[in-house]
Amino acid sequence: EVQLVESGGGLVQPGGSLRLSCAASGFTFSSYWMSWVRQAPGKGLEWVANIKQDGSEKYYVDSVKGRFTISRDNAKNSLYLQMNSLRAEDTAVYYCARSEAYCGGDCYSNWGQGTLVTVSS
Amino acid sequence: AIRITQSPSSLSASTGDRVTITCRASQGISSYLAWYQQKPGKAPKLLIYAASTLQSGVPSRFSGSGSGTDFTLTISCLQSEDFATYYCQQYYSYPPSFGQGTKVEIK
């Protein structure tokens, strides 16, 4: 069974940093593009970033470029999101999601349960 | 970036009703569109990808159609477990983007 388990969320002050982790199991992690998708409280879904199987390609939404860094450790079956210079508008539930090649691109059939990041003083 | 306009933002329907939700892309996205269902406090669930391909395990009352800029999700006979929020998502180009969501409520 595919499992994605996020951790690392919490309360942080504006300008602070946080590192999210996503532990993957039940599939060959190194064979999949992986993504982070977020959802502000009561709002819709927003794609944040993704990373290629070997980490050689990474893409970001404009609003986080230069502040967030996506990475992975295939030996540990883990995905990460380093978030710096956090702003109130980064407050959201952050989901880790597996990209499905059979879609022909970035669609997501497996998601974690999400981890809440709250940016507030 | 491609903008996705989803409508309506909410609708009220009864069990057994036929429900239609639409998404319009700001430019052509071929068939690179997915539909998700999300229930409160839960992660989204993939229903349809490639505009019209039903994800494994999803009931056949869900169907998708369209290509280019205009897309439709249809629930043919609404069941109690279908009351949820639905999102479309384009994955034709970066960044992948979602519609604003449609909340399907009980009439």
Cβ–Cβ below 8 Å for A104 and B97? no
pLDDT digits (tens, 9 = 90+) for B30-87: 999 999 999 999 999 999 999 999 999 999 999 999 999 999 999 999 999 999 999 9
CB neighbours of A45 closer than 8 A, spacing ≥ 6?
Answer: A37, A38, A39, B36, B38, B44, B87, B89, B98, B101
Rounded CA gap, B1 and A69, in Å? 20
Which chain A residues touch B46 with a CB distance below 8 Å?
Answer: 100, 107-109
Q: Do residues B9 and B22 lie in contact, with contact meaning Cβ atoms separated by under 8 Å?
A: no
Count CB pairs under 8 A between chains A and B. 61
Rounded CA gap, B40 and B84, in Å? 8
Cβ–Cβ below 8 Å for A47 and B43? no
Coil, strand or helix: which one is B101? coil
pLDDT digits (tens, 9 = 90+) for A7-48: 999 999 999 999 999 999 999 999 999 999 999 999 999 999
> B1 at the A interface (CB within 8 A)?
yes
CB neighbours of A113 closer than 8 A, spacing ≥ 6?
Answer: A5, A6, B43
Q: What's the confidence (pLDDT) of residue A112?
A: 98
Which chain A residues touch B44 with a CB distance below 8 Å?
Answer: 45, 95, 108, 111
Residue A102 sits at φ, ψ, to 5 deg, of: -70, -15
Cβ–Cβ below 8 Å for A103 and B89? no
Which chain A residues touch B64 with a CB distance below 8 Å?
Answer: none
Which residue matches tokens 């280019």? B68
